[in-house]
Chain A
Amino acid sequence: MAQTLKIAGYSTVGLTIPTGLLPERVKSMRQTFQDQGIATALRIDLGSTSRTELLRSLRRFRNIYDVVGVKCVNARVATVASRDRRVDVVFFDPVMHNVRFNHSLARLLHGALEVNLIASLLTLTDTGILFRLRKAIAVAQEHNVKVVLSSGARNAEMVRAPLQLSAIASTLGLSETASVAGVSSIPLSIITENVKKRKPENVEEGVKIIVSSRR
């Protein structure tokens, strides 16, 4: 898969890591990508079903991972995740009809909306998926919400070039600039910001240690 990503032209990828994975295994996975010249960012997808569970997970994992994504499985979780500044991206399962990205969520959203284009379009044959993706993209554009385009690839066959992801998004109604930013500047800025925040000299937003008192 690392080789395919390299051919496709990726320079940085987000690796979704299960919470219980051993650090050695994570290190070896990152090494595999590094050998191909691809930088990696560790990412966690939280699939909490309640507000309390989500907040607990955020407290526990925010400082460990570079990117925190929340899968919105119900309206309550979607509202909390959209409002919370610790959440980088929220995404919706296109199969789930009970929760969708709507105007009220768009107004609340601090992070970015992630659209898993390939995972949604290739694995599902339901024609309503296209409609739901179009609708989500239209709502995001109306409220100037940042959109991150992702393939959601789980194997090499699901990998597509960034150019292709942005092309699919533009055919679904996203503007040309936003679709290119969705595979380049927006995800990169999320990673850069979080890596900066996780550095030990960072105290809080806007405050960092410049000179250490210890010599």
Chain B
Amino acid sequence: MPRRYLLVKILYGRALTDQQFHDALNASVRTHFGDIGFARIDPRIIKSDQTTATSIVSCERSAIRELESALALITDCEGASMAVLVLAVSGTIKGLRKRRVR
């Protein structure tokens, strides 16, 4: 199935591990779209960069709007407030890397 890749910026006071972001993302998707929605969206964290606080997240192409919503509705992680901003969306990881360089 074709996928979409999102470049996201994480605004969080402390250093965030991949596992923490993974848990926060999965919890948001499950809360707002349920287990069936989770299976349909199929969110995956491809790569994270701690220095720039950015991550590349992927999902099913047809469920891009749901993933964007779920990312917007992440509010906290382990008690501290957190916000996730979608910076760019692309059909390939290479496309996102180009944008990150820009």
Give the B-binding residues of A (Cβ under 8 A). Answer: 4, 7-9, 118, 121-122, 156-161, 163-165, 167-168, 170-171
Binary A-proximity of B9-30 (CB < 8 A = 1, otherwise 0):
1010000000000000000000
Can you name 27 A-B residue pairings with CB atoms under 8 Å? A7-B85, A9-B87, A156-B11, A156-B83, A157-B81, A157-B83, A158-B83, A159-B83, A159-B85, A160-B72, A160-B85, A161-B86, A161-B87, A163-B68, A163-B86, A163-B89, A164-B69, A167-B65, A167-B66, A167-B68, A167-B69, A168-B68, A168-B72, A168-B73, A170-B65, A171-B65, A171-B66
Q: B56 in the interface, Cβ–Cβ < 8 Å?
A: no
A100 to B64, CA, bound (A): 31
Could you tell me the distance in whole angstroms from the C-beta of A127 to the nearest C-beta in chain B? 11
| Closest chain B residue to A172, Cβ basis | B69
Q: Which residues from B are CB-within-8-Å of A9? A: 87
Say whether B71 contacts A164, CB under 8 Å: yes
* Majority DSSP secondary structure for residues of A touching B: helix
Q: B75 in the interface, Cβ–Cβ < 8 Å?
A: yes
| Closest chain A residue to B64, Cβ basis | A167
A57 to B87, CA, bound (A): 39
Say whether B72 contacts A118, CB under 8 Å: yes
Complex partner residue of B68 from A8, A157, A164, CB under 8 angstroms: A164
| Closest chain A residue to B65, Cβ basis | A167
A168 to B65, CA, bound (A): 7
A161 to B73, CA, bound (A): 12
Could you tell me the distance in whole angstroms from the C-beta of B88 to the nearest C-beta in chain A? 9
Q: Which residues from A are CB-within-8-Å of B87? A: 7, 9, 161
Q: Which residues from A are CB-within-8-Å of B66? A: 167, 171
Q: Which residues from A are CB-within-8-Å of B75? A: 122, 157
A164 to B87, CA, bound (A): 10
Q: Which residues from A are CB-within-8-Å of B68? A: 163-164, 167-168
Could you tell me the distance in whole angstroms from the C-beta of B35 to the nearest C-beta in chain A? 17
Q: Which of A121, A122, A157, A164 has the most CB of B within 10 A?
A: A164
| Closest chain A residue to B66, Cβ basis | A171
Q: Which residues from A are CB-within-8-Å of B83? A: 4, 156-160
A9 to B11, CA, bound (A): 15
Say whether B85 contacts A167, CB under 8 Å: no
Q: Which residues from A are CB-within-8-Å of B11? A: 4, 156-157
Q: Which residues from A are CB-within-8-Å of B86? A: 161, 163-164
A4 to B89, CA, bound (A): 18
Q: Which of B65, B68, B83 has the most CB of A within 10 A?
A: B83
